[in-house]
Amino acid sequence: MMIGMLPESIDMQQLLFYFDLVGVFVFAVSGALAAVRKGMDVFGIVVVSLMPAVGGGTLRDLVLGEPVFWVQNTASIWAALAASALTFFVAGKLESRMKWLIWADAAGLALFCVVGAEKALAVSGSPMIAVMLGVATGVAGGIIRDIICNEIPLVLRDDQEIYATAAFVGAGLYCTIMYIAAVPVYALWAGMAAAFITRAAAIRLGWRLPKALY
């Protein structure tokens, strides 16, 4: 297959659907791991896994005045339930559940920030709104998850590496490529890669944004 033919040969809606499902799955894993760390039972694990899986997308759709994605298609709910069931059975075998939670959260952040930006750009036509709702889609579910687990949200912790900024980088790059070249497939992959690499580098290297001097 010629690289130049790639954008025309891929069904964008199908690609977005799969990206969304993967994002739901990995974010649900992060929620289930957080619930396991808190010693919750199977019902609590399922409930908490759903929060990061659908929370950000629900907020995005409500702001845009669009039908909520998991009401339109319940595949997202089934993906989240599958993730919570898998985590329930394997969490006890993981050496560091917090480390797995952080990396699952990073993957979900990268996927959701760009999928959210894509939908917001398609509906609103505004790159600014697209970037804002891309970031919201990426971080809102994790905030809900951490609040339910009685934790300070990752995005708000004083000792937290770059988090929401990674979502901003991914959503911003997606919108930039769409503005310059309007090649959706490349924009999606580039935005997701940029968000994940930024977050991964922050985790590994301890990157943090500067604070105000007192």
Which of the residue ranges 17-21, 44-48, 60-64, 175-179 would you say has the lowest mean pLDDT? 17-21
115 occurs within a structural domain? yes
Q: What's residue 92's pLDDT? A: 74
Low-confidence winner among 76-80, 92-96, 123-127, 189-193 (lowest mean pLDDT): 92-96
pLDDT of residue 104: 86
Q: Is the per-residue pLDDT at 2 higher than 60?
A: no
Distance, CA of 42 to CA of 92 (rounded, Å): 13
The full length of the chain comes to 214
- Mean pLDDT (whole number) for 35-40: 88
Alpha carbons 30 and 148: distance in angstroms, whole number: 13
53 located within any domain: yes
Residue 210 lies in a domain: no
Angle (CA) 25 139 109, round 5°? 45
Residue 39, in any domain of the structure: yes
% of residues, the chain, pLDDT over 90: 55
Angle at CA of residue 10, ends 4 and 16, nearest 5° = 125
Summarised one tens digit per residue, pLDDT across range 152-205 is 887 776 556 688 899 999 999 999 999 998 788 899 999 999 999 999 998 888
Domain total in the chain:
1
Check: CB of residue 151 under 8 Å from CB of residue 36: no
**Inside any domain, residue 157:** yes
**Segments forming the whole domain that contains residue 159:** 11-205
CB atoms closer than 10 angstroms to residue 102: 16
Determine the average pLDDT of the residues in 114-119.
94
**Does residue 153 form part of some domain?**
yes
| Structural domain includes residue 213 | no
For residue 110, what is the DSSP state?
Answer: H
Question: How confident is the model at residue 152, as a pLDDT?
Answer: 82
Query: What DSSP letter does each residue of 124-176 carry, written as one string?
Result: H--HHHHHHHHHHHHHHHHHHHHHHTT---GGG-TTPPS-HHHHHHHHHHHHH
pLDDT band at 6 (very low <50, low <70, confident <90, very high): very low
Residue 213 confidence (pLDDT): 67
| Inter-residue contact 49 to 87 (CB < 8 Å) | yes
Q: Is residue 40 part of a domain?
A: yes
Q: Which helix (H) or strand (E) holds 53?
A: helix 42-64
Residues 191 and 201: their CA atoms lie apart, in Å, by 15
Torsion of CA 27, 135, 137, 207, to 10 degrees: 10
Which pLDDT does position 99 carry in this prediction? 78
